[in-house]
Amino acid sequence: MVAPTSSTCPADHYCLTVVEIDRSTVWPYDEHGQPREFVYQRYGHPTGSEAERALGALEGGEALLFGSGTSAVLASVFALTEPGKTVALAEGAYFGTGVTLRELERWGLRVVEFDQTGSPPPADVVWVESPANPVLTVPDWGAVRAHRGRVVCDATLSTPVYLRALDEGADVVLHSATKFLTGHHDALIGALVVRDPALADRLREIRTRLGLTASPDSAASLLHGLETLELRMQRHTESATELARRLGAHPRVVNVRYPGLGGVISFDVEGDPIPVETATRLIRNQTSLGGFVSSMESRHRWEGDRIPVGLLRLSVGLEDVDELWADLESALAG
Ligand SMILES: *Cc1c(COP(=O)(O)O)cnc(C)c1O
């Protein structure tokens, strides 16, 4: 559990923090005309710094917030590469990461894909995702550590509750904090966590120069989310483990992928998955994942032929597991 940040909370007691949001874009210099800790919101702001301390403590590194997971992707690429450099990207990793990296091919970046359950090819940066969204493979950390390139690990689906990727050998941990870390579908926000102080400085510089800063309101949502992260992740895992087991025994389900942790399951149905995803009542038919409300969608609609036509990605929320199963069962029967 995150250490309470409120000074009124006794040290041996768990308190939900009341987050005060300072939405100022600018703060006065001191009486000598010198900048204080906060100057202009694009450089940093009090709510963001507090959320960075909380996330950094969970990951064991220095955290930097960004306006989205995607802007954290962009900052990583700018910090770790230059024209002519190669990124080896895990196959089946978050679709948007590949889209963003390929957008940068016009600026001289090279992108190769590889199977992250084996050894990465020669590259300046190895980009893994644990587990990969939505194919749910996990990287071979031994092979990753043996590689000479810098390592980025997108740990959005694990969260620091299940993975401390810096300890595994990653140089940069990336989060779409929009998902589990915030957990309530109310903030678009990303984060990077690093241990190398020079890399942290470079990322902060890029964030400021490119304007990739997270808003104070999003940072406050993240702070709230982190307070319940461990409990939520345990519940997501318990329910998803049970649903994966029941799905595996269902005659209409041909393939269940579940890595044993977290709230995301991908399973295949025979034929068209759209009638299944539109038939649920409790489980919302919408994109994204990681919230307290369950959601499900076909990923083929977004990702095309790299994803099986019948694949449904289910993000298991915090609802009662038997009610979720009843909903899935009736949708699969329809
Ligand atoms: C959603 C997601 C992203 C992108 O994050 P945004 O906050 O939507 O920009 C990156 N990686 C993974 C694994 C994701 O699920």
Residue 298 CB–ligand 1 contact under 6 Å: no
Residue 96 CB–ligand 1 contact under 6 Å: yes
Amino acid identity at 20: E
The residue whose C-alpha atom lies closest to atom 4 belonging to ligand 1 is: 69
- The structural domains of the chain, with segments of one domain joined by +, span 46-227, 230-333
Q: How far apart are the CA of 178 and the centre of ligand 1, in A?
A: 7
Q: Residue 19: which pLDDT band, with cuts at 50, 70 and 90? A: confident
Ligand 1 pocket: which of 153, 179, 297 to mutate (most atoms within 8 A of CB): 179
pLDDT of residue 91 exceeding 50, the answer is yes
Q: How far apart are the CA of 152 and the centre of ligand 1, in A?
A: 14
Ligand 1 atom nearest to 72, measured from its CA: 9
pLDDT, tens digit, for every residue of 295-334?
Answer: 999 999 999 999 999 999 999 999 999 999 999 999 999 8
Residue 94 CB–ligand 1 contact under 6 Å: yes
pLDDT of residue 14 exceeding 70, the answer is no
Average of per-residue pLDDT across 255-278: 97
Residue 232 CB–ligand 1 contact under 6 Å: no
The residue whose C-alpha atom lies closest to atom 1 belonging to ligand 1 is: 176
Nearest CA to 88 out of 108, 61, 107, 116 is that of 116
Ligand 1 atom nearest to 129, measured from its CA: 13
Q: Residue 12: which pLDDT band, with cuts at 50, 70 and 90? A: low
pLDDT, tens digit, for every residue of 39-67?
Answer: 999 999 999 999 999 999 999 999 999 99
pLDDT of residue 1 exceeding 50, the answer is no
pLDDT value for 66: 98
Among 6-15, 67-76, 282-291, name the one with the lowest average pLDDT.
6-15
pLDDT, tens digit, for every residue of 126-154?
Answer: 999 999 999 999 999 999 999 999 999 99
Ligand 1 atom nearest to 178, measured from its CA: 7
What is the average pLDDT value for the chain, to the nearest integer?
95
Ligand 1 atom nearest to 177, measured from its CA: 7
Ligand 1 pocket: which of 66, 70, 157, 192 to mutate (most atoms within 8 A of CB): 70
DSSP 21-86: P---SB----TTS---S--BTTT--HHHHHHHHHHHHHHTSEEEEESSHHHHHHHHHHHH--TT-E
Q: Residue 20: which pLDDT band, with cuts at 50, 70 and 90? A: confident
Average of per-residue pLDDT across 79-108: 97
Among 10-24, 76-90, 199-213, 265-279, name the one with the lowest average pLDDT.
10-24
pLDDT, tens digit, for every residue of 157-190?
Answer: 999 999 999 999 999 999 999 999 999 999 999 9
Q: What is the residue whose two structure tokens read 């409790």?
A: 282
Ligand 1 atom nearest to 71, measured from its CA: 9
pLDDT value for 334: 82
Q: What is the residue whose two structure tokens read 């309470």?
A: 4
pLDDT, tens digit, for every residue of 231-245?
Answer: 999 999 999 999 999
pLDDT value for 16: 62
CATH match for 46-227 among 3.40.640.10, 3.40.50.720, 3.30.1490.20, 3.40.50.970: 3.40.640.10
pLDDT value for 6: 47
Q: Residue 15: which pLDDT band, with cuts at 50, 70 and 90? A: low
Q: Residue 18: which pLDDT band, with cuts at 50, 70 and 90? A: confident
In angstroms, the Cα distances linking 86 to 92, 108, 111, 240 are 18, 9, 6, 36
pLDDT value for 3: 45
Element (H, E) at 151: strand 150-154
Q: What percent of the chain has pLDDT over 70?
A: 95
The residue whose C-alpha atom lies closest to atom 8 belonging to ligand 1 is: 69
pLDDT of residue 71 exceeding 90, the answer is yes
Structural fold of domain 230-333: Aspartate Aminotransferase, domain 1 (3.90.1150)
pLDDT value for 10: 59
- Cα separation of the two ends of the chain: 42
Contact call for residues 40 and 23 (beta carbons, < 8 A): no
The residue whose C-alpha atom lies closest to atom 12 belonging to ligand 1 is: 94
Q: Residue 248: which pLDDT band, with cuts at 50, 70 and 90? A: very high
Nearest-5° angle of CA 244, CA 245, CA 250? 90
Average of per-residue pLDDT across 260-266: 98
CA 163, 173, 139, 288 torsion: positive or negative?
positive
Average of per-residue pLDDT across 216-239: 97
